[in-house]
Amino acid sequence: MKFHFTNLLLLVIAASSPLVLFAQSNTESQAYWVHEDPVYPAKVAEYEAYCESLADNCAKYNIQKANWFTVSTEDLRYFHLSPISNMADLDKSRFSVLENKMGAEEFDALFENFDSCYDTHSDYIIHLDPELSYMPNGMQVITEGQEFRELQFWYATAQNYSKLLDMARQFKALYEKKNSPEHYRVYRSGFGAPGQFIIVSISAKNAAEYAQVYEQNKILLGAERDEIYNKLLSSIIRVDKLNGYMRMDLSYSPK
């Protein structure tokens, strides 16, 4: 039996805090519940229409407990992230307010439509880690005018995960030392995640700007970057790199 998309939102969206979506403390870690949908190519337009309908209905009825942002990637995956304060938040459900406003029939029909768009999906926790992130202008999850995302998933065995985190600290120290123009956020895998990994999330206006900054940064960091990078490669088991975009049209934050 599939885990219904409705059940996720009943937990995740209800657990969200509206203030942590756009800004994050430079010292405190923030947990996010991630719902990941790999969507059938033929169903992308329908899936996005359902997501827009959900966001529109939340806005229409000003649902205060709902708060999420969405990233879509070129391989047709959709990542819906909602901030949570602790694991106890996962037991809370106040999304029934939207059901009461919409009516049970319309509400159920909306969520049932999602199940036709994929054959599997996953839910897990990640933690935004300011200690490992390089955001000299402040920890912003949503960067205005920079919708493009380069998402790098670096996987390690449980035995080498501490080495992976150490490499991330070394990279941050080097970026700070060189005053790098390439800013990034680092998320650590948490409860329910498919393995031990970190996600490096880099924002840019588009893919071309990211490629330009990447090359500039590589030259700036020079041989010191190569030394840490080679140690990083010896500490991981694989890396997945995804290009995508922040989808504010599929996201929602209450007024």
Which pLDDT tens digits describe the chain residue by residue (255 residues)? Answer: 233 444 444 444 444 433 333 444 456 789 999 999 999 999 999 999 999 999 999 999 998 888 899 999 999 999 999 998 776 566 655 567 888 899 999 999 998 999 999 999 999 999 999 999 999 999 988 888 999 999 999 999 999 999 999 999 999 999 999 999 999 999 999 999 999 999 999 999 999 999 999 999 999 999 999 999 999 999 999 999 999 999 999 999 988
- The full set of domain ranges for the chain reads 5-125, 126-244
Longest distance between any two alpha carbons in the chain, whole Å = 62
Helical H runs in the chain? 5-12, 44-60, 96-102, 104-114, 161-178, 207-233
Q: Which tokens in the block code for residue 107?
A: 């509400």
Equal fold, 5-125 vs 126-244: yes
Element (H, E) at 245: strand 238-252
Beta carbons within 10 angstroms of residue 86's beta carbon: 8
| Upper half-sphere CA count for residue 105 (Cβ side, 13 Å) | 0
Say if strands 238-252 and 148-156 run parallel, antiparallel, or are unpaired.
antiparallel
pLDDT at 66: 82
Cα(179)–Cα(220) distance, rounded to whole angstroms?
9
pLDDT at 52: 97
Give residue 124's identity as a one-letter amino acid code: Y
* Residues across the chain: 255
Alpha-carbon distances of 171 from 35, 56, 73, 120, rounded to whole Å: 29, 41, 25, 35
Cα(103)–Cα(119) distance, rounded to whole angstroms?
27
Topology of the domain covering 126-244: Alpha-Beta Plaits (3.30.70)
Range 5-125: architecture per CATH: 2-Layer Sandwich (3.30)
pLDDT at 84: 87
Element (H, E) at 157: none
pLDDT at 27: 60
Cα(139)–Cα(129) distance, rounded to whole angstroms?
10
**Residue closest to 210 by CA, chosen among 147, 136, 131, 150:** 150
> Are 66 and 74 a contacting pair, CB within 8 Å?
no
Exposed, middle or buried: residue 236 (CB in 10 Å: 0-12, 13-18, 19+)? buried
